[in-house]
Copies of this chain bind each other. A is one copy, B any other.
Amino acid sequence: MSDEYWIWGSAATAPRILHSMVRVADLERSLAFYCGTLGMQVLSRVDVEAGRFSIVFISFAGDYSAPAIELTWNWDHPANQEGYSHGTGYGHVAIGIPDLHGFCAQLEARGVPIVTGPKTLLPGAPALAFIRDPDGYSIELIQTSRQTTPAS
């Protein structure tokens, strides 16, 4: 069998969460945001002419051992003009950021609005912030290094 499709490895003995998938209206816009602005990498991209869609796996790691996001772009979908709708159920993807305050300052300098925060909800707890991706999906940013946390 070919290795090319076994991107998640083939020696697993236990279940594990691999990725979450969201549909995007403009793939290049999303890649500019997730990779150019947030710093993720493209792990793989598949353009399916017959099905008129593309899928791209992106991650902060260079391989599929870490959790990923799957972006699905349907080439001819009306949502590409109208936007995808967001129900009340799905919440967000959370990303751990070593220096949250510095990261948020960088995002603002690049024109990304910080919807909430960065703020610390409980004394001694990591600071949190929320942003939105170009399609309006909520992203939670969580401070993951104490050393760079200023008082807040």
Q: Is the CB of B126 within 8 A of A16?
A: no
Number of copies: 2
CB of A32 within 8 Å of the partner chain: no
Residues of B with C-beta under 8 A to A146: 1, 6, 10
- Given A70-B91, A146-B10, A17-B59 contact (CB < 8 Å): yes
Q: Is the CB of A6 within 8 A of B126?
A: yes
Residues of B with C-beta under 8 A to A11: 145
- Given A8-B144, A87-B84, A145-B10, A20-B94 contact (CB < 8 Å): yes
Chain A: interface residue count, which band? 35 or more
Question: Across the two chains, which residue of chain B brings its CB closest to A61?
Answer: B16
CB of A39 within 8 Å of the partner chain: yes
Which residues of A81-130 are within 8 A (CB) of B?
Answer: 84-98, 103, 122-126
Question: Across the two chains, which residue of chain B brings its CB closest to A138?
Answer: B21
CB of A131 within 8 Å of the partner chain: no
Bitwise, A37-79 to B at CB < 8 A (1) or not (0) is 0110000000000000000000111000011111010000001
